[in-house]
Amino acid sequence: MTDRFVLEHIKALQPYEPVIPPDAVARHLNIPICKIIKLDANENPYGMPPRARWRLANLATGHIYPDPECRQLRLMLSDVINISQDNIIIGAGADELIDLVVRLTLKPGDRLMDCPPTFGFYRSVSQIHNLTHVEITRHADFSLDIDNIRAAVNQGAKAIFLANPNNPDGSVAPYELLCEILELPILVILDEAYIHFASSTIDMAKMATVRDNLIVLRTFSKWGGLAGLRLGYGIFPKYLQNALMKIKPPYNVSTAASEAGIGALESLDQLNQQRDWIIKERDRLFNALQTLDWLSPYPSQANFILCRVSGLEAVQVKNKLLEQGIMIRYFNKPGLQDHIRISIGTPSDIDRLLEALKEIKV
Ligand SMILES: Cc1ncc(COP(=O)(O)O)c(C=O)c1O
Structural domains present in the chain: 8-47+269-359 (3.90.1150.10), 50-267 (3.40.640.10)
Residue 119 phi, psi (nearest 5):
-60, 125
Residue 6 phi, psi (nearest 5):
-90, 135
From the alpha carbon of 98, which atom of ligand 1 is closest?
Answer: 4
- CB of residue 327 inside a 6 A radius of ligand 1: no
From the alpha carbon of 221, which atom of ligand 1 is closest?
Answer: 9
SS (H, E, C) the chain: CCCCCCCHHHHCCCCCCCCCCHHHHHHHHCCCHHHCEECCCCCCCCCCCHHHHHHHHCCCCCCCCCCCCCHHHHHHHHHHHCCCHHHEEEECHHHHHHHHHHHHHCCCCCEEEECCCCCCHHHHHHHHCCCEEEECCCCCCCCCCHHHHHHHHHCCCCEEEEECCCCCCCCCCCHHHHHHHHCCCCEEEEECCCHHHCCCCCCHHHHHHHCCCEEEEEECCCCCCCHHHCCEEEECCHHHHHHHHHHCCCCCCCHHHHHHHHHHHHCHHHHHHHHHHHHHHHHHHHHHHHCCCCEEECCCCCCEEEEEECCCCHHHHHHHHHHCCEECEEEEECCEEEEEEEECCCHHHHHHHHHHHHHCCC
Q: Give the separation between CA 18 and CA 24, rounded to whole angstroms.
A: 13
- Reported as a single tens digit per residue, the pLDDT across 224-264 is 999 999 999 999 999 999 999 999 999 999 999 999 999 99
- CB of residue 193 inside a 6 A radius of ligand 1: yes
- CB of residue 124 inside a 6 A radius of ligand 1: no
> To test ligand 1's pocket by mutation, which of 161, 171, 221, 226 has the most ligand atoms within 8 angstroms of CB?
221
Q: Give the separation between CA 234 and CA 7, rounded to whole angstroms.
A: 30
pLDDT < 50 positions in the chain:
none
- CB of residue 330 inside a 6 A radius of ligand 1: no
From the alpha carbon of 42, which atom of ligand 1 is closest?
Answer: 14
pLDDT at 346: 98
Nearest CA to ligand 1 atom 2: 193
pLDDT at 362: 82
Q: What is the pTM of this model?
A: 0.97
Q: Give the separation between CA 346 and CA 313, rounded to whole angstroms.
A: 26
- Reported as a single tens digit per residue, the pLDDT across 63-114 is 999 999 999 999 999 999 999 999 999 999 999 999 999 999 999 999 999 9
Q: What is the dihedral of CA 140, 142, 148, 153, to 10 degrees?
A: 160
pLDDT at 14: 83
Strand partners, 111: 132
**How many residues in total does the chain contain?**
362
Distance 227 CA to ligand 1 centre (A): 9
From the alpha carbon of 222, which atom of ligand 1 is closest?
Answer: 9
